[in-house]
Amino acid sequence: MKRVNVLTEGAILLALFTVLTLMTLYLPLIGAFLMVFLPLPFILYSVRHGIKAAVTLMAASILITLLVGSLFALPLTLTYAISGIVMGYFYKKKQTSGALIGGTIAFLISFVVMYAASAAFFQIDPIKEATGSMDETIEMARSMMAAIGQEANEAAINQIEEQMKYIGYLIPSVLVSVSFIFALLSHAATIPVLKRLKIQVVPLKPFREWKLPTSIVWYYLIVSFLLFFDLENDSFLFIAVLNLMFVLQVLLVVQGFSFIFFYSYVKKYSKALPVAAIILSLILPILMYIVRILGIIDLAFNLRGRVKK
């Protein structure tokens, strides 16, 4: 009887995943929103019945994907299935932070494999395609301005071209950041469902209580010092330092936003205030620098302790 229930639940979750996959593939606008729910069937099955059952569900989902979708939909299934199984394993172990870390690593490995496969088998490099499109857009803008008798702002164009060169160097950092965002969104979509099914999940600390190790500030200072040296652009050291700087800057910005939420909570301000701070920082990049500095001060000088006093 128990085996019948397991198979029945597996069939329901497989049907759910199939519907979500089809909507993601053929309804782009709705699909972009539904993508965060794709790991959910595998998370639920892994939490309730273990990894072996979840792997079986993944095998069945691969067959269904090939039947109703196409070969190009297979990477989508594998990415979300593997990530869902990994996250479900940690949820079952009552390790919510482990689910986020494990999900991030699973997404990262999947993205790296897909990137390598597209470059090796299909001769498609997404980064080069993106930079190529940008170059074409810049040349088109130059031509249009020349046609109407105006001179292009060469200083601004050169700055954009210089920034585009660094995109290829920052691939590792970008992939890590995107993987974490995907894991975080999957977590946010999964938790309400698990609670609804009365599956106990250890909650994460509130964002206002997030605090990184103080050593992050020292790493940031060391990496900033290394950037003062004239490093060769294509060297391993230059790429490593550039990626470390990007990751550290993101971490310090997260720390700064965490402090804003903490300060707002202590002062009993409206919850809309820290949310507005995030939105404004995304619109006005200069505010992001201020938030980063705030994160540095919070870590280096225990700003939270001073606020409490």
- What pLDDT shows up at residue 65? 84
Pairwise CA distance, residues 248 & 254, whole Å: 10
**pTM, to two decimals:** 0.80
What is the pLDDT averaged over residues 288-300? 90
pLDDT digits (tens, 9 = 90+) for 176-227: 888 999 999 999 888 888 888 888 887 888 888 888 888 888 999 998 888 8
**C-alpha 235: how far from its chain's center?**
27
Higher local confidence (pLDDT), 167 or 97: 97
Q: What is the mean pLDDT of the chain?
A: 82
- What pLDDT shows up at residue 261? 92
Give the lowest-confidence range in 69-73, 105-109, 234-238, 295-299. Answer: 69-73
Residues in CB range of 84: below 8 A, 6 or more apart: 38, 39, 40, 41, 42, 43, 46, 54, 186
Pairwise CA distance, residues 143 & 152, whole Å: 9
Query: Alpha helix locations (H) across the chain?
Result: 2-26, 28-34, 40-49, 51-68, 74-92, 96-121, 126-147, 154-169, 171-196, 215-226, 236-266, 272-283, 285-301, 303-308
- What pLDDT shows up at residue 252? 92
Pairwise CA distance, residues 100 & 191, whole Å: 12
- What pLDDT shows up at residue 104? 92
Flag whether pLDDT at 86 surpasses 90.
Answer: yes
pLDDT digits (tens, 9 = 90+) for 106-152: 999 888 888 777 767 766 666 666 665 666 666 666 666 656 655 55
